[in-house]
Structures are given as structure tokens and as C-alpha cells.
Amino acid sequence: MLAQYAVRVEDSRGRRHVEPRHPYRNDFERDRDRIIHARAFRRLNDKTQVFTHRYSDHFRNRLTHTLEVAQIARTVAAQLGLNTDLVEALALAHDLGHPPFGHAGEKALDAVMREHSLFFDHNLHALRIVEDFEQRYASFPGLNLTFESREGIIKHSRDYNTAEFPELAGYCLDRRPPLEAQLIDLADEIAYTAADLDDGFESHLLGLHQIRAGVAIFDRYYREAEPLFPTALEKLKFNEALKRMMNLFVGDLIRNTQRNIEAAAVRSTDEVRAHPSRLVAFTPEVESERRRAKDFLYRNLYFSEELQPEKEDAEQTIGELFNYWMENPNSLPVTYQQKARSESLPRVVCDYIAGMTDSFIQRQYEIMKKQRLQISD
């Protein structure tokens, strides 16, 4: 049962290349399936989220993080009467554009591009993947996703303006994205806040007392859970508190968004798009709890000294490889050498690096070091 303000697949603006209808899958289900079958999706399995394999092989990577976002987003979407097929496609695609080595890799790639007056943006890169880089179908390049999926990939987490990004002019940049896309950003926030507290605790980089002192909402739920399970292992009490915190975030998001929708009286996706602000939001109280948890993670985990060596490795590997290929474009794979005839070399090298998994780029780095040694011999 779709709400009036949900995206209806029969109203889709369609695909760039017209295709016959599928007998039993609608267009958003097909988008979801195409994303799952894409190479870039499978490579998420070997891309760092926060922790590398140095810590554990059961901590989140970009693929398992993506599945957690999809599961949270589907739950919220179903409660709000949104289009869960579109939501699932958008959630599964939301991190496709991330380079290797997590946020450190993204920063490093952006930094080397800025030396050439260019930049790296993971949403724009994801769009290039689904529009061009994936080569699976004989009739067209890319995945030929519907307009709504491509628009959501671009607009779920930030606003772009037409003056700065004229190539995105077709995506109604002056209007809000549909609720299905708005939801992805906050499902992402819920997923990684909970996951990073969890993995941070298991990695021993974050202590229980430290989390309880720094994240008030977690502490409140730990106090609630502790007397209920007096003999349980500490980690299980931790899990009980974390579960309650996630339920608070998800429940608040559903109820508050419902209230915003009612207050705005939107009755169609057009009215959602025309509304001056995004309607998917937490209450101010829960938003500030979430902010505090996020600030805590930035201070104590993402910018911690313990994770510093990985960041330095990422900068060094990406920086040196980028400059090596800029100076030796003949060492690029032939397909990228061909691309460099019609596009700027820094962009082509950036696209090549951004698509790599953590282990592939590490192998490339070793190969480059050997070649450099041979040259200097």
C-alpha cells in the first residue's frame, strides 16, 4: 500500500535507453537487481568502511554496511508507505562511488585531484559508475537505471547547484529529492553510528566507560539494560543498549517524518519536491543525541591515533600511485589509456583508483615500487 506522497513506479520518468517491460519485475526492482549484479557492488566487499582487516574480519566493510543501511531504510519506508523497491535500490547504491581505504582514501584522492584544479566526489563518481563504467549489457553502456534511481544516487546526501554542476541540470537541483531518497541519508547515519560504536568497542579502541561517559543516550539505555541481565556478559549488555538506541533512532525517524508529512500536507511526489525543506528528519531532541554520538565517534575513533597509520598508508599509496600514472600513462591498462584520449588524464587516473578495492590497490602499489626500482637500476 503506497502513500499518496510515495514514488509510483508507473510514474517513473524512465530510462535513458528505452527497454521492453519485464514480465514480472517492475522497473525499480530491475534497478535493484542491476545494482546487485554490478562489479562495483561486489567490490564493496573489499573496501574499508572504518576498520581494515588488520583488526578483525567480522567488522563491517562497505558491503555489509550497505546491507545494514538497506535493511533500516526498508523498515522505515514500509512504515511510511514509501516505495520500498526504490528505497532498496538507492540504499544498495549509496556507497558505490567510494574509493578504497574508507574516508582516508576519499580525502587523499580529492587532495591529489585538487593539485590539478579538479576534485573527487563519491556521489558524482557513483553516477559515472552506473551511467558509464559498468559494462554488462550489449544494448547500452552502464546500468541504464531509471531517472529516480540516478537522481537518488546524486541527491540523497547533499544538495548540488546548477551553477557549479551544469552537467547535473537534468536532476531538478532546485527541488528536494523524493522521500525515498531523503530517507537514505538518515538510514546511513543510523547504521554507521551503531555499527562504529559496536566495532569500536570490540576492537578495544573504545572502552565501555568511555562510551557511556561520551554518549548520553547510550548510557541511559545501558542503565536500563544492566539490571535486566545482571549475569550476562558485558558485550551482551552492550548489545542490548545499542539495540535500544537504534530502536529509538528508527522509531523517532518514522514518527517525526510522519508528523512532518502531515504538517506539510504533501499529497504527491511533486509536492514533496516543491517543499522548501527535506521532510525526512529526526525530532530536534533525537537529532542532537545522534549528533553527540557522531561527534564522539569523530573525536575518539575516526580521528584516533590508533587509526592514524592506516590513514597515512592510504595517503601514501593513493598519492604515489596517482603521480606515478600521471607521469607514466603507458603503465595504465589499455582501456584507461584509450579513455585518456577523450578525457583529462587526472580524471582518468582518479576513476581508475576510485574503482579499486583495498587489496587491488595494495598490489598495484607493490608492482609500482618494483618498476620504479628497475627504472632506477
Query: What residues have CB less than 8 Å from 165, skipping those under 6 apart?
Result: 124, 173
Closer residue to Mg ion in complex, CB, 107/255? 107
Q: In angstroms, rounded to a whole number, what is the distance separating the alpha carbons of residues 25 and 350?
A: 36
Closer residue to Mg ion in complex, CB, 16/103? 103
Kindly determine how many residues on this chain lie close enough to bind Mg ion according to the rule CB under 5 A. 2
Closer residue to Mg ion in complex, CB, 9/35? 35
Q: In angstroms, rounded to a whole number, what is the distance separating the alpha carbons of residues 108 and 114?
A: 10
Cβ pair 309, 42 in contact under 8 A: no
Stretch that binds Mg ion, among 19-27, 164-172, 183-191, 343-351 (CB under 5 A): 183-191
Cell of 266: 504533501
Stretch that binds Mg ion, among 120-128, 184-192, 267-275, 277-285 (CB under 5 A): 184-192
Closer residue to Mg ion in complex, CB, 34/60? 60
CB of 100 vs Mg ion, minimal distance in Å: 15
CB of 49 vs Mg ion, minimal distance in Å: 8
Query: What residues have CB less than 8 Å from 80, skipping those under 6 apart?
Result: 3, 6, 179, 183, 254, 257, 258, 261
Helix or strand (DSSP H, E) at 197: helix 179-202
Closer residue to Mg ion in complex, CB, 15/290? 290
Closer residue to Mg ion in complex, CB, 6/195? 195
281: left (phi over 0), alpha (psi -120 to 50) or beta: beta
Cβ pair 279, 260 in contact under 8 A: yes
CB of 35 vs Mg ion, minimal distance in Å: 14
Cell of 183: 530517507
Q: In one letter, which amino acid is 226?
A: E
CB of 157 vs Mg ion, minimal distance in Å: 8
Stretch that binds Mg ion, among 109-117, 185-193, 294-302, 369-377 (CB under 5 A): 185-193
Q: Is 27 helix (H, G, I), strand (E, B) or coil?
A: helix
Q: In angstroms, rounded to a whole number, what is the distance separating the alpha carbons of residues 191 and 373?
A: 44
Q: Is 310 helix (H, G, I), strand (E, B) or coil?
A: helix
Closer residue to Mg ion in complex, CB, 76/321? 76
**Residue nearest Mg ion, Cβ-based:** 188
Stretch that binds Mg ion, among 3-11, 92-100, 302-310, 355-363 (CB under 5 A): 92-100
CB of 212 vs Mg ion, minimal distance in Å: 26
Contact call for residue 188 and Mg ion (CB under 5 A): yes
Helix or strand (DSSP H, E) at 235: helix 234-264
CB of 69 vs Mg ion, minimal distance in Å: 6
CB of 123 vs Mg ion, minimal distance in Å: 11
The 10 Å CB-count burial string (b at 16+, else e) for 66-94 is bebbbebbbbbbeebbbbbbbbbbbbbbb
Contact call for residue 95 and Mg ion (CB under 5 A): yes
Q: In angstroms, rounded to a whole number, what is the distance separating the alpha carbons of residues 372 and 377?
A: 9
Stretch that binds Mg ion, among 26-34, 79-87, 89-97, 101-109 (CB under 5 A): 89-97
Q: Is 61 helix (H, G, I), strand (E, B) or coil?
A: strand
CB of 91 vs Mg ion, minimal distance in Å: 9
Closer residue to Mg ion in complex, CB, 98/150? 98
Stretch that binds Mg ion, among 4-12, 71-79, 88-96, 351-359 (CB under 5 A): 88-96
Q: In angstroms, rounded to a whole number, what is the distance separating the alpha carbons of residues 183 and 276?
A: 16
Closer residue to Mg ion in complex, CB, 168/191? 191
- Provide the binding-site residues for Mg ion, judged by CB under 5 A: 95, 188
